Structure 1
Amino acid sequence: MSAPPPPPWREDETDDDLDVFGLVDHGEDEPEPEPERVERQPAPPRPVGRARRPRVRTGGSHRLRAIGRNLAVERPRGAVVLAVAALAVVLVAALLVVLFSRPADRQAVSGDRVTFTVEPGEDLASVAARLDERGIVASDRAVLDAAEDSGQTSIGAGEYVLREQMPAADALAVLQGRAEGASHYVVVGRGRWLSEVLDGLAQSTGLPRADFEAAAEDPTRYGVPEQAPSLEGWLDPGEYYPPVGADAEQVLAELVKPRLAHLRAQGVTDPAEQQRIVTIASILEAEALPKDYPRVAGVIDNRLNDPDAETRGLLQVDSTVNYGLGRRNLQFSAAQRADESNTYNTYQHTGLPPGPIGMPSDAAIEGAVHPEPSEDLYWVTTDIATGHTEFSRTYEEHSVHQEEFRRYCAQNPGVC
């Protein structure tokens, strides 16, 4: 006869985890002892919100499941700690790989041309650091090591032509003038005055400015017409790469050659005519936009060729007056307009000024060589920002455009 089923669990019995661990499996052959009847006290009221687990009678295997369940609660916390530690190890390892695998030097020259300026008085450590910052060399240490190997630590001031990526020894050789083909980077700007160009050449090459002044004293040594009072106007605007080691005279000669070649290409071979064309071209560069060069050149010819016209042979060009004053401006006083001592004052002196007033571009040269015929005697730029220029045949018409220019200047203080 089978044993009677165990009495059902009462819903009001307290839940005690000790009951779980106290159950023992005695086997099927041993009858379960009759439970003693004990007078039970009513169970205390359960706290509000506490979930009640249904009690399940089981054997010893339940203990293992319970223990496993408690361990599972703790495992994620430990796993997170281990994961963070592993990630930290990986990051540190990666950083060490980057640090120790960084190339000490580049193996070959590559990339486009770049300019690099060495300031006067700058030491090797500063130059090496800036080469590293720009990515030209792999490290500043490589530059210092290359200098130690070569036995040369001095670097001349100037602007040098390098490549985007270079071995440290190659870059240093260029900066020290030891590399074959090493060159400076020189720019002559359109409309720049000779004094400004010489300043730039001294800075770009590291040569003393006094060397350029001395080299420019005799313009004729470069093939410039005898009528030219200086090299003003005869240095062709553009970019140049004179070799490191070239002296001031050699640099100037390279800048004059393309000017003479372009004049010959335009059919201008007579020295006096060359001087006239370069002078007119310098005025065009200062007074107009390229699209207006031929037309302004035509107005200049009209004034020069008809001394009986309203303008009486006077060019009346503001830019020539200011060149004679040694300043860049668009306006000047009435006293400065009346100053005859200024030989470049085209309000007082007829004809062209004594010489060019800046470095004209090839486009300005072409405009001077091919003036546009017209009956105009006046021009004025009424909008400095856009370069819009008005042309007139009479002074009466010109006065209206002059008033437009004055209004523009009043509305744009500091521009004029």
Structure 2
Amino acid sequence: MFKRLLIALLILCLLGATAAIGGYAYWQQRLNASLALDEPLLYQVRPGMGFHQVVSELDEQGVIGGAWPYRLLARWSPEQMPRLRVGEYRLEPEMSGLEMMALLGSDKVVTYPLTVPEGWTFRQMRALLDAAPKLEHRTQDMSDDEIMALLGREGEHPEGWFFPDTYRYHLGMSDVDLLRQSADRMTRILDEVWSSRADDLPLETPYEALIMASLIERETGAPEERREIAGVFKRRLERGMRLQTDPTVIYGMGERYAGRITYADLREATPYNTYVIDGMPPTPIAMPGRASLEAAVNPLPGETLYFVSKGDGTHHFSTTLREHNNAVNRYIRNRAP
């Protein structure tokens, strides 16, 4: 009798073990099975979402075909459960359930590019940020002064202080985050460039170099011309000549600028009109790139004092006013010298 009972118990234990092994294998098979997707899915982990809410939502959407394997995992193997991070994630059809959970706890969130071109103004940058999708818009109703105070730069004029480049952001980031990145990068690059400046530079501070770089940026898009334009501006400053650069006139006109400058505009007394004021304008007029910053602190030596657009994106440089007037006749007025 005892022997039969022992055999029965052994059989029950064997059946239980077999069932347990089979159940474990099935559980692992479910966790390692590919997601029920025919194409990639953009899934969003929202602020405040917990693990159980995520797996329930994925189950309802038919992505994982059952929440129980994941809930069991959370109970029996919590060390395998990631700490969820807010953001958007790209779920791929070939991805397993375990790979999906690891992804949702990683920093591999979906990101979006935002490109701020060189030579843009802060007003243009703000409009770009306001239109950016998936970005939290915190500054839309703020003034420029309020934004600068929020960035810890109270009292500073915003123009020129943001580095033009392509930035990437993800869900959960705000326009303030991108503005801070851009401002910190401009400060860092300006300091680097200023430390390698030429000895005979007629600029006394990094901020003056930032202003000069903005003029260069707005004057030319031809890389080979930047240092020569910087040289012209340097020599004009040293000789007490006015810079007479059209982009400063345009900036001073603000929203009144409609695509052309008149003779009256050149004579209008604004703080930025370098046909009227001596020296440089009080602030930058645009966001300069690194190449213009480097040109501003390392001007090309020479004797040229004037330049005029040739209409093809480059300029004709002159050493005398007579030569310059002839170039103006040729390229602007289309008359032979």
| Structure 1 pair 188–351 and aligned structure 2 pair: CA distance change class (3 A) | same
| Distance of 1:402 and 1:306 partners within structure 2 | 22
2:322 aligns with one of 396, 399, 408: 396
Which of 223, 226, 230 is the matching residue for 1:290?
223
Displacement of 1:241: 1.3
Does the Cα contact within 8 Å between 2:88 and 2:170 map onto a contact in 1? Answer: no
Residue in 2 that maps onto 1:105 = 37
Q: Partners in 2 of 1:240 and 1:397 — Cα distance?
A: 44
Partners of 1:339 and 1:393 lie apart in 2 by 27
TM-aligned CA deviation for residue 242 of structure 1: 2.7
Q: State yes or no: 1:339 paired with 2:265.
A: no
Alignment map for 1:7-406 (pairs within 5 Å): 105-106=37-38, 166=92, 180-182=107-109, 183-205=111-133, 206-208=135-137, 210-211=139-140, 213-214=142-143, 217=146, 219=148, 222=151, 228-230=156-158, 232-268=159-195, 273-288=205-220, 289-307=222-240, 313-326=241-254, 331-340=260-269, 342-383=270-311, 385=312, 387-406=313-332
Cα contact 1:319–1:330 (8 A) shared by 2: no
SS of alignment partner, residue 176 of structure 2: helix
Q: CA deviation at 1:208?
A: 3.5
- Residues 97-120 of structure 1 show CA distances to partners (whole Å, capped at 9, x for unaligned) of xxxxxx9724778xxxxxx9xxxx
Deviations 1:168-209 (A, max 9, x none): x9xxx9xxx998553342211111111011111121154337
Q: Which has the larger radius of gyration?
A: 1
What letter corresponds to residue 235 of structure 2 in structure 1? N
Q: Which has the higher contact order (CA 8 A, sep 6+)?
A: 2
Post-superposition shift, 1:336? Answer: 1.2
Kept in 2, the 8 Å contact 1:314–1:346? The answer is yes
Q: Which runs of 5+ in 2 are unaligned?
A: 1-34, 43-58, 67-86, 198-202
- The 1:292/1:260 distance shift into structure 2, 3 A limit, reads same
Unaligned runs of 5+ residues in structure 1 are: 1-102, 110-115, 117-141, 150-159, 308-312, 410-416
Change (3 A) 1:374 1:269: closer
Q: Deviations over 1:95-144 (max 9, x none)?
A: xxxxxxxx9724778xxxxxx9xxxxxxxxxxxxxxxxxxxxxxxxx997
Structure 1 residues 200 and 161 mapped into 2: Cα distance closer, same or farther (>3 Å)?
farther
SS at match of 1:217: helix
Relative to structure 1, the CA distance from residue 368 to residue 188 in structure 2 (aligned partners, 3 Å threshold; closer, same or farther) is same
Give distance in 1, aligned partners of 2:170 and 2:120: 23
Inter-CA distance 272–394: structure 2 relative to 1 (3 Å threshold)? closer
Paired residues of 1:233 and 1:357 also in contact (CA < 8 A): yes
Residue matched to 2:31? none
Contact 1:235-1:259 within 8 A present in 2 as well: yes
Q: Which amino acid aligns with 2:318?
A: S
Please give the TM-score of this superposition, normalised by the length of structure 2.
Answer: 0.62
1:347-379 CA-partner distances (Å, limit 9, x unpaired): 101111111111111111111111011221111
Secondary structure, in 3 states, of the residue corresponding to 1:379? strand
With over 3 angstroms needed to count, the CA separation of the structure-2 counterparts of 1:287 and 1:370, relative to structure 1, is same
Name the amino acid aligned to 1:391.
F
